[in-house]
Amino acid sequence: MSGDIKDVKIAAAIMAGGKSSRMAGQHKGMLLTPEGVTFTERLSAEMHKLTDLVYISYGDTTPMQAEGCVIVRDIYKGCGPVGGLHAVLTRAAEDGAAAVAVAACDMPYVTADLYRYLYARLAERTGIKEYQSNPFELYDGAVAVTGGRIHPLAAVYSVGAAGICKTQLEERNLRLREALGKLRILYVDLEGTAYERMLLNINTEEDYKEYITGRSRST
């Protein structure tokens, strides 16, 4: 083990099950970059730099497909991000992956390097060179943080985290941050790094106008 994300079998997931209510109903994964590709297509290209096993997490509808991606439906319907995360972690385990890199579909600056960095910090913390194993035996994930704000959909999770998600879903506790509190998570502060800008997400029509015109707000 060298601390490189290529050392483990990893899957990746674009989390796209939200209702996009603040975007006048337009699905955020279908928004276009200045280059004319959708956010989903751009994220798919980045995730495919990490793995051939790339999922798109949807709820009940399929706003769009992307070449090379597998659609994953929520097992527990209408349960928000916890339901989506549980579904992709469960599917990844079935596909033999050890972990899943996740990105919200409304994060147009994310690149594969973010997940390489998160994994490297995880391997560094666990002393992976000496341990000679995979860091997901000691941690359930690595989650990005900036300005004191946790970004649970800019993270790498062990497939084993599906168990906590399932318990919360069965208890109808849909708070993702409470699930994180029950997991062994390494929080990686990205403030001041080249990765901080990648955490910017597009929530509203005004955010999107600013992104297109190059005036995007800070995270």
The CATH number of the domain where 86 resides is what?
3.90.550.10
Is it the case that residue 164 has pLDDT exceeding 60? yes
Q: Is 82 left (phi over 0), alpha (psi -120 to 50) or beta?
A: alpha
Determine phi and psi for 104, rounding to 5 degrees.
-65, 145
In a domain, 83, yes or no: yes
Percent of the chain with pLDDT over 90: 76
Angle (CA) 39-42-43 rounded to 5° is 85
In a domain, 218, yes or no: no
pLDDT in tens, 29-66: 999 999 999 999 999 999 999 999 999 999 877 878 89
Percent of the chain with pLDDT over 70: 91
Query: Rounded CA gap, 94 and 97, in Å?
Result: 8
In a domain, 135, yes or no: yes
Determine phi and psi for 160, rounding to 5 degrees.
-65, -20
In a domain, 2, yes or no: no
| Per-residue pLDDT at 115 | 97
Provide CB contacts within 8 A for 205, sequence distance 6+: 22, 23, 24
Query: Rounded CA gap, 110 and 117, in Å?
Result: 12
| Per-residue pLDDT at 158 | 97
Segment 94-100 shows an average pLDDT of 97
For residue 183, CA distances in Å to 92, 110, 111, 142, 180 come to 18, 24, 25, 10, 5
pTM of the model: 0.91
| Per-residue pLDDT at 134 | 76
Residue-range definition of the domain harbouring residue 127: 8-212
Is it the case that residue 83 has pLDDT exceeding 80? yes
**Number of domains into which the chain is organized:** 1
Segment 165-193 shows an average pLDDT of 97
Query: Rounded CA gap, 72 and 125, in Å?
Result: 32
pLDDT band at 126 (very low <50, low <70, confident <90, very high): confident
Segment 167-184 shows an average pLDDT of 96
Segment 9-23 shows an average pLDDT of 83
Q: Give the alpha-carbon dihedral of 3, 133, 166, 173, to 10 degrees.
A: -50
Say if residues 101 and 117 touch (Cβ distance below 8 Å).
Answer: no
Average of per-residue pLDDT values in the chain: 90
Is it the case that residue 1 has pLDDT exceeding 60? no
In a domain, 78, yes or no: yes
In a domain, 206, yes or no: yes
In a domain, 48, yes or no: yes
